[in-house]
Structure 1
Amino acid sequence: MSRTINDAPLTTREARRRLEIGVHWRSVDADIHVGYRKSKRGGVWLVRWRNGQGYRQATIGTADDAITTGTLDYRSAVKAALFHVMAARTEAKAAADGPPLTVRSAIESYIETRDARERRRTGRNIRSDASRRLEKFVLGRPARGKRAAADASALAEIPLHKVTEDDLRSWRSSLPSHFKPAGIQRLVSDLKAALNSCAERHFSRLPGGLLSTIKRGLRMAGHEHDDDDEVAVARENQILSDEQVTSLIAAALEIDQEQGWDGDLYRLLLVMAATGARFSQVARLRVMDVQTGARRIMMPPSRKGRGGKASLISVPVGRDVLDALAPVLLGREKSAHLFERWRYKQQPGTIRWEKSSRGPWQTPSEIVRPWGEIRVKAGLPDVIPYALRHSSIVRGIRANLPTRLVAAIHDTSIAMIERHYARYIADGLDTLAARAVIPLAA
């Protein structure tokens, strides 16, 4: 084929009408040409592009010689031609780079990383929550015991270089309608993290716009206001008064004594309430992190988000909290975990369990059962442990602390504080503004 072509007049129906029957070409760029194959009853659009030493060719649609549904004018044909060539080149590159990367392979690699991280944190051979969620709603899983089987989603087998925004939106819309917004967001965040991780790790093998496709395809389009409203109501129901928090901690002490926790459960929940920290942060505290003289706890940052974080976060606490912690501070190695609990072992040949050894708290599930009894005893049957964090944040806002300080103490962002606790910020600002009001009328 010649290196140069004479561009045929293809841009209008009238110009194409004058052409002879046959194939006519027009350059789009140096390597891509749009063609028009004219026959006695109209014509079709073609595209050809350079492929190594030769060219490849494909049909892309029907010309609008007679305007009907689905026909393409010249501009639409050029657009379709460029899209087809880009897809073909992406497919060829993916094939040349080896076995294609799929949504399934991206998720499996992500799950392996998350599970390994959980094993390092806990010292046990356990699986992450992300692996359970992604298997149930994307990868599929067989039935096991009382656990029902889950079918794989169609999304799982799509090659990453072919994933579109519509594929991701279709998967999201297929999720069960009874899902709470927070549950949907956790699942979507897991999938987004898995795909983004693979896209960044194999950026040379995948389309440059894949990260944008993932972001737009998994965006909560059309649901932002509904979801935010539901989350706001949930948070409102979980913001406790000081008296309610006190009653929960008192109930925790009673349950601790009744069930033989030796103060481990009480001290853990007391510090969660006093600092507003997450369970994962409190569980990682060391003896050296409690600074009795300065009346503060140096809280480790969460593992949420990316980028570097401050090594420790200074959180002031009261003398009552420090007195409660005294038994686990005296005579212990400074590098030891501050909070530990008893592990139990079943006696051989019996149904009895006995205390075996002590070790650090590992997962939030360890407080689920006692928390159910604590909230009933406190007369708050619907409250969740995270309410201690919500209440601590609102307590700081109501004390008119700067939003930046409240965010720093609770290891979160100002944007998150303003998004979820805006009404309390407004109340605090109104209180401050009211102090500047003076009588002016005669």
Structure 2
Amino acid sequence: MAKTLKEVPLTTRSARAKLPVGLHWRGIDPETHLGYSKGVRGGVWLVRWRIGTGYRQDRLGTADDELSEGTLDYNGAIRAARDRVEGARLEDRAASAGQFQTVRTAIVSYCAERDARFRARGVGNTGRKAATSSLERYVIGREASANMEARAPAPIADVPLHLLTERELIGWRKSLPDTLKTSSVWHLAATLKAAINSAFRANRATLPATLPGVLTAALVISRTNPADGESVARENQILDAATVGRIIAAAKKVDEAAEWGGDLYRMIVVLAATGARFSQAARLTVRDVQIERSRLMIPPSYKGQGRKPEATPVPIGADVLAVLGPAIEDRGKGELLLTRRRMERAPGQLKWVANGRRPWGRAARLVEPWAEIRKIAELERDIVPYALRHSSIVRGIRAGLPLRLVAALHDTSVEMIERHYGRWIADGLDDMAARAVVPLMPAD
């Protein structure tokens, strides 16, 4: 091959029509050339690029010499050539680094790290995050086990990350069952995006710089689209004080009937009084109860990024302090405030007996007793324990507290408050404005 490329005009149909039958080249950059192979009835586009001391060549598609639809014009051929060469070079770098990173390997690595952090937090976390099971169910598949059925992997699972496209990600989203709630799809897409972004950060040299943008374009899902008929804080999850009181009374009955020893009752009281997430309440220690100042120091959540305060002081009433009294008495400052019985099978018997205490662990521990609480309190079937948090936030809004204070007390942001509780903010402002109205008309 000659050292100097002899370029020919390829940019228009008329220019290509004047060329003789054969192969013609035009430079894209010093090591990449666009080729046009002319035949009797039109031509095809090619690309070649330098690999070491030689060249690699590939076909791009049919030129638009006769038809416009389904063919490539000059500009389209240039774009296709760049994409093909960039993809090939990324693939070569990935191959030289060892095994390709795929959607599957990204998920497996990400979930392993998250589950390890989850278990390291203690407070009874011995299993896996729920997101791990969701990704297995809807993306990478799993084998059958004692309590889980086998799931086939999605087609996207084994796609190399350097070849992952927006179309493939959108196709995966569309393949999800219609029965999934919008919030479930949002969490699933967000977790998949986080897994792939984590792999991208660890393998920047072998993955395209455009990958994060592809993920954002394909996996960003609105959680507040009014068309889907779903809201994070649905109206029936906002409970008035009387309903919260019924829940607490029901929790006491369930606690006594099942011989929880006050553990269940205290957990529900703390959730109702503070609006804390279950994971935060489960990490409270005896030291966090400040009796003299009538407040609980709520540990920061694990949600979000960046530095967070050590704890958030949340005022509580004397009635709540009285309920917590038995959990404080004669206990060390560093011990967990809220625990539950450790149940073990009696030796040689089918009977389960209490043997010491243990951390609460996952929020799933509340599922069974909450069903009994809901029944006794005569709540709708879809009312969940998180309704206590929703209700606490809305109580603060309706009381006219500054949104920044409401957000701080609940370890969240003003943006999140405005996004998910906008209706109650408007109602609260209306109430405040109404109280500012004074009679203006003079008396007769």
Question: Contact 1:181/1:231 (CA < 8 Å) preserved in 2?
Answer: no
Structure 2 counterpart of 1:192:
193
Q: Give SS of 1:104's match.
A: helix
Question: Contact 1:114/1:130 (CA < 8 Å) preserved in 2?
Answer: no
Structure 2 counterpart of 1:155:
156
Aligned residues: 440
- Say if 1:53 and 1:161 are closer, same or farther in 2 by CA, change over 3 A: same
Q: How far did 1:115 drift?
A: 2.2
Question: Contact 2:102/2:157 (CA < 8 Å) preserved in 1?
Answer: yes
Distance in 2 (alpha carbons) for counterparts of 1:386 and 1:88: 49
* Runs of 4+ deviating beyond 6 Å: none
The one-letter code sitting in structure 2 at the alignment partner of 1:370 is P
Structure 1 counterpart of 2:173:
172
- Say if 1:135 and 1:184 are closer, same or farther in 2 by CA, change over 3 A: same
Q: How far did 1:127 drift?
A: 2.3
Structure 2 counterpart of 1:102:
102
Question: Contact 1:235/1:390 (CA < 8 Å) preserved in 2?
Answer: no
Q: Does 1:401 align with 2:395?
A: no
Distance in 1 (alpha carbons) for counterparts of 2:126 and 2:412: 30
Q: Give SS of 2:357's match.
A: strand
Q: How far did 1:226 drift?
A: 4.9
Q: How far did 1:433 drift?
A: 2.3
Structure 1 counterpart of 2:416:
416
Structure 1 counterpart of 2:36:
36
Distance in 1 (alpha carbons) for counterparts of 2:254 and 2:314: 27
Q: How far did 1:369 drift?
A: 1.2
Q: How far did 1:289 drift?
A: 0.7
The one-letter code sitting in structure 1 at the alignment partner of 2:183 is A
Q: Does 1:138 align with 2:139?
A: yes
Q: How far did 1:19 drift?
A: 1.4
Structure 2 counterpart of 1:373:
372
Structure 1 counterpart of 2:308:
309
Give the structure-1-normalised TM-score: 0.95
**Superposition RMSD in Å:** 1.8
Structure 1 counterpart of 2:343:
344
Structure 1 counterpart of 2:332:
333
Q: Give SS of 2:153's match.
A: coil
Question: Contact 2:125/2:361 (CA < 8 Å) preserved in 1?
Answer: no
Question: Contact 2:190/2:220 (CA < 8 Å) preserved in 1?
Answer: no
Distance in 2 (alpha carbons) for counterparts of 1:139 and 1:219: 20
- Say if 1:160 and 1:426 are closer, same or farther in 2 by CA, change over 3 A: same
Q: Give SS of 2:100's match.
A: coil
Question: Contact 1:46/1:59 (CA < 8 Å) preserved in 2?
Answer: yes
Structure 1 counterpart of 2:204:
203
Which stretch shows the higher mean deviation, 340-349 or 139-148?
A: 139-148
- Say if 1:169 and 1:374 are closer, same or farther in 2 by CA, change over 3 A: same
Q: Does 1:264 align with 2:263?
A: yes
**CA-to-aligned-CA distance 1:203-253 (integer Å, 9 cap, x gap):** 2221111111122221227x8625763125x62111101000011001111
Q: How far did 1:440 drift?
A: 4.9
**CA-to-aligned-CA distance 1:115-153 (integer Å, 9 cap, x gap):** 222322345642221221111111212223453221111
Distance in 1 (alpha carbons) for counterparts of 2:437 and 2:119: 58
**CA-to-aligned-CA distance 1:92-123 (integer Å, 9 cap, x gap):** 11111111011111111112112222322345
Q: Give SS of 1:248's match.
A: helix
Distance in 1 (alpha carbons) for counterparts of 2:211 and 2:41: 41
Q: Give SS of 2:431's match.
A: helix
Q: Does 1:126 align with 2:120?
A: no
Distance in 2 (alpha carbons) for counterparts of 1:6 and 1:56: 18
How much identity, in percent, do the aligned residues show?
50
In structure 1, stretches of 5+ residues that fail to align are none
State how 1:427-442 maps to structure 2 within 5 Å: 427-440=427-440
Q: Give SS of 2:117's match.
A: helix
Q: Give SS of 1:148's match.
A: coil
Distance in 2 (alpha carbons) for counterparts of 1:298 and 1:362: 19
